[in-house]
Amino acid sequence: MSITVVGASNWDMFTYVDTMPRVGETIKGNDFKVSFGGKAANQVVQAALLGSKCTIITKLGDDVSGVNTLKNFKDKNINCDYISIVKDVPSGCATIIVDKKGDNNIIIVGGANDKLSVEDIENAKSQIQNSSLLLCQLEVSLDVTLKALQVAKESKCKTILNLTPINDKPIVLEMLTFTDILIVNEIELYGIYKSTFNSSDAKEDESDINELIKRGEQLISKYNKIENIIVTLGGKGQLLLCKEPKDNCHIELKEKVKVVDTTGAGDSFIGSLAHYLTKGSPMKQSIELASKVASISVTRHGTQSSYPSLSEIN
């Protein structure tokens, strides 16, 4: 059982502060760190750390960041056959500011990630179709993500679409017709609901569980390929929505932890979820186990550097 991930790899630069700077304000930071990042890279690394057989389809720049990122993948036993190096283009990077509450602001520069193409997906077609699960996000070209989902659905490969960063273009709605499991937060669910139903009068309280359930059920009814929608609720856990409404449930976090840095916690959850699903765990149990993994990551600084391995979980 294997996982293939398509998307971005970044070099993350963290600045830690007490409070976020206001517009035009210069403040003094407390610490600075660098780490490997990018949603696809984060998710594939977390799954690999838990023991999954993983492949990533991504692009890197011909620079120090790219060299180090490639080595990091190889060190994690991730298949790098579909990673290509772009000349004269920097690797993707992210500037991340983290305050003392663990909240963050992030600026991403795509760099080499923007060069990932539909041709790259065609070249990896057999890899995707022979995988148990394909995992995609929206950090690379939307055409690339759509193509990867289409290729997967030509086979028995299950698909997960992490609908972030949020985008309401028609091509994203087309992606939903090739998606088995959709993962969104409250804001992303509302955005895609509005785009689908051209709704301007819907209640905009993203914290209302009943309203989230209503939106999710309507999306599943509209896009009948979707088996599940998982709405991530931060410290309030996850909302699992299913084809059969009786199976809907709110999965609350079982343990409270001291939050140090939330950066990459969502990717830790998604990578872990992919791992447990391909190991045969039922959806609800997979969410609970993935939540446990992600709750460990927020107690540490950084993105991939905060991710626990299988031995730590055990």
CA angle, 182 as apex, 180 and 184 as ends, to 5°?
Answer: 175
Assess whether 267 carries a catalytic annotation.
Answer: yes
**How many residues are there in the chain?**
314
On whether the CB atoms of residues 127 and 80 are closer than 8 A, the answer is no
On whether the CB atoms of residues 128 and 72 are closer than 8 A, the answer is no
Q: What is the pLDDT of residue 207?
A: 61
Q: What is the pLDDT of residue 93?
A: 94
Q: Which two tokens stand for residue 97?
A: 């500011």
Residue 124 has pLDDT above 80, yes or no: yes
Cα dihedral value 27, 29, 34, 38, nearest 10:
-50
Average pLDDT, the chain: 93
Q: Name the pLDDT band for 255 (thresholds 50, 70, 90).
A: confident
On whether the CB atoms of residues 42 and 266 are closer than 8 A, the answer is no
Q: Name the pLDDT band for 234 (thresholds 50, 70, 90).
A: confident
The reply, when asked if residue 24 is annotated as ligand binding, is: no
The reply, when asked if residue 264 is annotated as ligand binding, is: no
Residue 88 has pLDDT above 60, yes or no: yes
Q: What percentage of the chain exceeds 90 in pLDDT?
A: 79
The domain locations on the chain are: 2-304
The reply, when asked if residue 30 is annotated as ligand binding, is: no
Residue 42 has pLDDT above 90, yes or no: yes
The reply, when asked if residue 38 is annotated as ligand binding, is: yes
Residues 6+ apart with CB under 8 A from 19: 27, 99, 100
165 vs 202 pLDDT, higher one: 165
Cα dihedral value 144, 147, 153, 158, nearest 10:
0
b (16+ CB within 10 A) / e for 234-269: eeebbbbbbeeeeebeebebeeeeeebbbbbbbbbb
**Fold observed for domain 2-304:** UDP-N-acetylmuramoyl-L-alanine:D-glutamate ligase (3.40.1190)
Q: Convert the pLDDT of each residue in 189-217 to its tens digit.
A: 999 998 888 765 555 555 688 999 999 99
Per the residue annotation, which of 63, 120, 180, 267 is the catalytic one? 267
User: SS3 of 164, please?
Assistant: coil
The pTM assigned to this predicted structure is: 0.91
Cα–Cα distance measured from residue 194 to residue 276, given in angstroms and rounded to the nearest whole number: 32
Instruction: List beta partners, residue 68.
Output: none
The reply, when asked if residue 185 is annotated as ligand binding, is: yes
